[in-house]
Chains A and B, each alone.
Chain A
Amino acid sequence: MNGLHFRLAAAVLTMASLAAGAQEVPLDKWPTERAADLAALQSGARTFVNYCLNCHGANLMRWNRLRDIGLDERQIKADLIFGSQRVTDTMTVAMNPHDAKAWFGKTPPDLSVIVRARNTVEYAGTDYIYTLLRGFYRDQASLTGWNNVVYPNIAMPNIFWERLGPREATLTRSEVLDVPAAEGKSRQALVQTVSHFAADGSVSTERKELQQGEAKFEYRFKPADPKAAAAVDADVADLVAFLNWMSEPAAQDRRRIGVWAIGFLVMFIGVGRWLNAVYWRDVH
């Protein structure tokens, strides 16, 4: 009976797994060890203030909460706050939302909880943003002159372009398409499109039909200065660490208290077990 039960369950599960599956942009893994690294968080805070806070706000983030990542009020005031804000204010942005909409076509979103907003069942928000911020390439066809491998036709330009220097990009997309066949009919075929974007954003495209393989998307960057690119990668990793911390500043406290809560409950269960045994001794 159990064997039959198992086989039925297995059949249902196989059906479910067959039903799943779609092709996505491969995301790079954000180095998670930076999540609780104070140096990384502080460096991320600096990058955030210098690069992001001009257009994006963090309306839920109070400046003095940065004490949680090891900064004191004097440092916050001297090194991070540029305008006339107080340490008890939140990280608002000077740009008028209506202007922003006119300039970018969309008001840049508030970044307070952006990492959590990008979490899905399939991937982590940190990986998404880490890949997105490192996925810009020059594209003359787009409005800002920039495009992105994760978020095609993104309204945001590459904020790190000066430090990154020129960079070529090669995007390889293999997908099943309708191709013309004899007598005006069409048939389905796996077509590979390789788009090469030069450092100035001019594109050359090659297309060929693949006899075998699967639908997928890959990309590769070739920076003129690999050292500068590596430095920017490290800064972006720190920035994502900061964004991740800002999405839930209580996360560290939560885990710390959680250990005590679990410890207490294990003791509670021990006492409960003993009490239960004592009371139930006379039930036969």
Chain B
Amino acid sequence: MGLHATQYKGLLGWIDARMPSLMTAFRTHMSEYYAPKNFNVWYFFGSFALMVLVIQLVSGILLAMHYKPDSNMAFWSVEFIMREVSGGWFIRYMHSTGASFFFIVVYLHMFRGLLYGSYRKPRELVWIVGTLIFLALMAESFFGYLLPWGQMSFWGAQVIINLFDSIPLIGKDLSLWIRGDYVVGDATLNRFYSFHIVLVPLALIGLVVAHIFALHDVGSNNPDGVEIKDQLDARGRPLDGIPFHPYYTVHDLYGLGFFFLAYCAVLFFAPEMGGVFLEGNNFIPADAFQTPLHIAPLWYFTPYYSILRATTSDFMIWLAVGTACMGALIYLRLRGTRGRIGVALATFVLFVLLTVPQVRLDPKLWGVILMALSVTIFGALPWLDQSPVKSIRYRPGWHRVVIGVFVAAFAVLGYLGINPPTPGRTLVAQVCTACYFGFFFLMPWWSRMGTFKPVPSRVTFAAH
């Protein structure tokens, strides 16, 4: 076998002659990947997310060198890192601040998708893989949060694992199986450590690679929602595309400066972020005999936790009404008889399970179902959104208001989840839960309503 004919010189040429796939990959994903030239500030968050992943991996590897996954030592080993390990406080704050920034960045990245319809055909798979990344990230964070073995770690894990109890028939055995003990204990800590540092990171990295491959196959969307591959030059390159490298590598490098500015401001000057990023209670060693007055998950889970808490027995009737209305809407929308019978049956069964006292499911179980739905429903967006145009720029103005209400409901749910419930707060949380699910479930209807503006054939771009 001869060597591959290479265009490169020196060491790179030597390697390319023997392993041409390396530079092929570089060309496919960097120097000959054509990205739309009109990316705006929202398009930074993807590369920021990749940066945080690297930060978390590096700081995590360093933390694992001193951390002890042992229920008698875990808490003290974290404080040992903070005090006795050279630069240990820096490594630990990198990781704890990174965790919160991961979610900030990912939420903004997802919001970008919502604004510009980035999940629409042909990018459905990019979005689905992204949703899986989001779920993996939540799992990673949940497992990691147990490791400092403080009161919040312990009781947070206890509360979340106990949610599985509400699943009929297998619930009790399932939660016992997850915990590995009757209470959260050493067995739980060790398995969570294993998941946190091996299983989930591997899955995350694999999913991120799949996310980027899927994206580079179909090409990036842009703020105009225009398909740049529809307008090609004589050599088959998109007229509105520019090579990712060097244009977007320098562009993202510039953007990363701002990311690190915010990240370092928190890391160096407010690593606890007023008790939101690092909770005070978690500086008390885990104690199975002392339940904290108020148990709340970390801020990035609180919107879903609020939905769980809002699902009280009083809320069942409203859920039933909502389900009935939804069923009627879908029934009227469908044309085929078989589909209509199916929808009517499903609505009837759900309605019975929500209302009839003899067979209805526990409100706690409905809470768990709604919570699970609230984090997975993002994956259905490519099919829920029926708007004739992708980008918010060409959609009716009031669509922005709808998205604004959704964001406000999400933020209020998050705020309420941090705080202990009161009757008034629960009512607000129920209203916001209705807004949250209304946004998604009614999207097939509202997203096609109103007057849409004409979409240009080329992207709008003003030279810098």
Residues of chain A whose beta carbon lies under 8 Å from any beta carbon of chain B: 1, 4-5, 8-9, 12-13, 15-16, 18-20, 22, 59-60, 62, 65, 109, 112-114, 116-121, 125, 247-250, 253-255, 257-259, 261-262, 265-266, 268-269, 272-273, 275-277, 279-281, 283-284
Contacts and interface: CB of A to CB of B under 8 A. Distances in A.
Nearest to B419: A20
Contacts of B213: none
Interface stretch (B25-33, B242-250, B325-333): B242-250
Contacts of B412: 12-13, 15-16
Given A262-B265, A268-B257, A279-B247, A16 B409 contact: no
B408 interface: yes
A272 B427 contact: no
Given A116-B283, A276-B254, A283-B463, A8 B404 contact: yes
20 contacts: A9-B404, A9-B408, A12-B405, A117-B281, A120-B275, A120-B280, A121-B418, A250-B83, A253-B89, A254-B89, A258-B264, A258-B265, A258-B269, A265-B257, A265-B260, A269-B254, A269-B257, A269-B261, A277-B464, A283-B464
A18 B425 CA distance: 8
Interface residues of B, number: 60
Interface stretch (B63-71, B74-82, B135-143): B74-82
Contacts of A266: 261
B454 interface: no
Interface in B205-256: 242, 246-247, 250-251, 253-256
A268 B260 CA distance: 10
Contacts of B76: 59-60
A276 to B, nearest CB: 4
Contact of A262 (B261, B281, B427): B261
B400 interface: yes
B223 to A, nearest CB: 16
A114 B285 CA distance: 11
Contacts of B11: none
Contacts of B267: 258
A19 B425 contact: yes
A272 B253 contact: yes
Contact of B89 (A109, A113, A250): A250
Interface in B147-187: none
Contacts of A249: 83
A15 B84 CA distance: 47
**Main secondary structure on B side of the interface with A:** helix
Nearest to B80: A60
Interface string B407-426: 01100100110110010110
Given A1-B400, A277-B464, 5 more contacts: A8-B404, A269-B257, A275-B250, A276-B254, A281-B464
Contacts of B261: 262, 265-266, 269
Interface in B259-276: 260-261, 264-265, 267-269, 271-272, 274-276
Contacts of A13: 408, 412
**Main secondary structure on A side of the interface with B:** helix
A97 B150 CA distance: 20
Contacts of A12: 405, 408-409, 412, 432
Interface of B: 37, 76, 79-80, 82-84, 89-90, 93, 242, 246-247, 250-251, 253-258, 260-261, 264-265, 267-269, 271-272, 274-276, 278, 280-281, 283-284, 397-398, 400-401, 404-405, 408-409, 412, 415-416, 418-419, 422, 424-425, 427-428, 431-432, 463-464
A15 B79 contact: no
A16 B425 CA distance: 7
Contacts of A281: 464
Contacts of B256: 272
A259 to B, nearest CB: 8
A129 to B, nearest CB: 12
Given A262-B264, A268-B257, A276-B250, A284 B463 contact: yes
B258 A117 contact: no
B419 A272 contact: no
B428 A16 contact: yes
Kindly list the 9 A-B residue pairs having the minimum CB-CB distance in the complex, ordered from nearest. Answer: A258-B268, A272-B254, A119-B280, A19-B425, A269-B257, A117-B283, A250-B89, A19-B424, A116-B283
Contact of A113 (B79, B264, B276): B79
Contact of B83 (A5, A60, A275): A60
A8 B464 contact: no
Nearest to A110: B285
Contacts of A247: 283
Contacts of A250: 82-83, 89
B276 A16 contact: no
Nearest to B407: A9
Contacts of A262: 261, 264-265, 268
Contacts of B79: 60, 112-113
Contact of A116 (B89, B255, B280): B280
Nearest to A12: B408
Contacts of B255: 272
Contacts of A65: 83
A249 B82 CA distance: 9
A120 B250 CA distance: 41
